[in-house]
Amino acid sequence: MSTAITNLVDLYERSCTANATRPLFGTKGAGGWNWITFGDFQKQVDALRAALKALGVGPGDKVGVVSNNRVEWAAAAYATYGLRAAYVPMYEAQKPDEWAFILADCGAKVVFGATNSIYEKLCALKGAEVPSLERVLGFELPETHDDSYAAALKRGAATPTPAERPAAEEVAGFIYTSGTTGNPKGVILSHGNIASNVSAVPALFPVSTEDRSLSFLPWAHSFGQTCELHVMLSQGAQVAINDDVANLVANLAEVKPTILFAVPRIFNRIYAGVNKQMSEKPGIIQALFKGGIAAATRRGRGEALGFFEGLTLSLADKLVFSKIREKFGGRLQYAFSGSAALNKEVAEFIDALGIFVYEGYGLTETSPIATANYPGHRKIGSVGPAIPGVTISIDRAVTGDPKHGEILIAGPNIMQGYHNRPEETSAVLLEDRTFRSGDMGYLDEDGYLYITGRIKEQYKLENGKYVVPSPLEEELKLSPFFANVMIYGDNKPHNVALVVPDLQTLEKWAQDTGETLGDVAKNPAVKKVLAAELERCSANFKGYEKPKDFAITTEDFTVENGLLTPTMKLKRRAVMEKYGKEIAALY
């Protein structure tokens, strides 16, 4: 946009007016992809805003939503903003008691439910569990139902009401961080917080009306919400909404996105999937693939290529890499990675395929972007320099290390605080509103930030050595043999691990070697091959960081079993509660 925005209502109205006839959201139906224009979306928002106002929603009220990404989710968000109320998103994967806690904590007046089942569960929370809740609406209820989204649109269209203009300091929404321990915390984000992030992005990335993304990151998370929903809409770009994770690769080929917003887990899957596919190709193709990756990686590091290296890269790109890119639609120019640190080897690998990955860093509390690599300013392995208006500093007093310390962030993107948690707010916000991130890292001589772990995850072994487990865990998960891993060693003589093996890889290994898998967790041959793979993957780590022994479980870490947060972060305390005996037995 030509001028900076200060609130999300102006963002929505300016873009919808300027791009009224252009496609905005694409959804997949029986006959293919159907697109709704900016103008038609604006009509939905305007009608829903009037319907919410008729339900008594006004300045300072809270409107909740439990839903996957969909057009209705976005319409409800912008309708809420236009009443100077706050939008509070939740995940479908969360349990009803978590919805109840969040709705009661924020004092929600109205809540939307995606499916009829979710609608019914939310209705059951009215009354004693959530006293503030007055109305539950359902996106998929039939139009004849008074609580349906369709009925609300019909009522609103008959009684139009203009949008109000929130001040920059007014609250746009609460995003509840899922948290690896205890109840979630409501991060209060103002219109100015989010708008500052949205305004900063076009200065770094040339997003245009010709760009398109395939949305699969949840908008209930700050990365997906700000970077994809708000930024893409503000620039007149297109957003296709993925229908199911299982269909992601097929949908990429159909949608042909130019931009992809993802988290390291997705790039790790691409890395593992391509390598596995190549391992089954004829030897000459494998050699060409490996030679092409090596040459592309060298070129990416700024090294000059010899004649034969250049020829190998050219052939590999034409015969192998181009076919891989076609699986992603063939138009992908930029891929943005956030939410967690991306393994450098994976980043270089994706880069070598001809897909440029730009890694950034931030937290829900920073709206979320704090730093980002961008065209012409990129160092693989770093999360980039601070974005315009933001300042990064390192507090080394926390770690006592001459280089690494806690990352401190200052700027217009810093949250207003945690809802109803003044003590926790004061613990992370300094007097000048600088935010203590809780993350460890360092700045290089050019101001590029490098992340080295979470301070809360850091622990000390009996020998006094400090360990940050996540880098090794991420490295191990790049192996086709490991689906998930947790390293442990707090106040212990050495590290141990709990590993979840990849059963498909083990089954193929068993076929190739003639082994019988049986009970994987108790099979000595399985433990031997996993031990060798663990040693191989941890070769570049310090001796005291490597686990000396490990236990095996065939139950993966998931959101459903409570071992991962909805944003796929490991709940270490929950893993210890469930597998503490098995881990203790390793000592």
With beta carbons less than 8 A apart as the criterion, state whether 40 and 71 touch: no
pLDDT of residue 2: 43
Confidence of residue 562 (pLDDT cuts 50, 70, 90): confident
Cα–Cα distance measured from residue 484 to residue 461, given in angstroms and rounded to the nearest whole number: 23
Answer for the pair 84, 172: CB distance below 8 angstroms, yes or no.
no
Cα 153 to Cα 461: distance, rounded to the nearest angstrom:
60
Distance CA 110, CA 134 (A): 6
Q: Give residue 179's pLDDT band: very low, low, confident or very high (50, 70, 90).
A: low
- Mean pLDDT across 395-412: 90
Return d(Cα 222, Cα 220) in angstroms, integer.
7
**Which residues lie below 8 Å from residue 242, measured CB to CB, with a gap of 6+?**
69, 214, 215, 216, 248, 251
Q: What is the pLDDT of residue 272?
A: 85
Q: Which helix (H) or strand (E) holds 234?
A: helix 231-234
- Report, as an integer, the average pLDDT of 221-231: 94
Sorting pLDDT into bands at 50, 70 and 90, what band is 3?
low
Asked: is 264-330+333-454 a CATH 3.30.830.10 domain? The reply is no
Model pLDDT, residue 327 = 87
Tokens of 108: 């929600």
φ, ψ at 547 (rounded to 5°) = -70, 135
Tell me if the domain spanning 8-29+37-166+205-258 has CATH number 3.40.50.12780. yes
The tokens describing 574, both together, are: 């929950």
Q: pLDDT tens across 230-280, in order? A: 999 999 999 999 998 889 889 999 999 999 998 888 888 888 888 888 988
Burial group, residue 280, by CB count within 10 angstroms (0-12, 13-18, 19+): exposed
Q: What share of the chain is helix, strand, coil (3-state, %, to 5)?
A: 40, 25, 40
Domain ranges of the chain: 8-29+37-166+205-258, 264-330+333-454, 459-585
- Beta carbons of 86 and 173 less than 8 angstroms apart: yes
What does the pLDDT read at residue 4? 73
The predicted structure's pLDDT at residue 252? 93
Same fold, 8-29+37-166+205-258 and 264-330+333-454: yes
In percent, the amount of the chain with pLDDT more than 90 equals 75
At residue 324, the pLDDT reads 87
Buried b (16+ CB within 10 A) or exposed e, 128-150: eebeebebbbbbbbeeeeeebbb
Distances 361 to 159, 214, 372, 576 between C-alpha atoms, Å: 43, 21, 6, 28
pTM of the model as a whole: 0.87
Among 232, 268, 282, residue whose Cα is nearest residue 344 = 268
Give 451's strand partners.
441
Residues 460/466, Cβ–Cβ less than 8 Å: yes
pLDDT of residue 312: 93
Termini Cα distance of the chain: 59
- Return the structure tokens found at 381: 């392995």
Is CATH 4.10.640.10 correct for 459-585? Answer: no
Beta strands in 455-580 (DSSP E): 459-460, 466-467, 482-488, 495-501, 547-552
Higher-confidence position of 264 and 536? 536
User: For 481-491, what is the mean pLDDT?
Assistant: 94
In 387-478, which ranges are E strands? 391-395, 405-410, 417-418, 435-443, 449-454, 459-460, 466-467
Is the pLDDT at 340 greater than 80? The verdict is: no
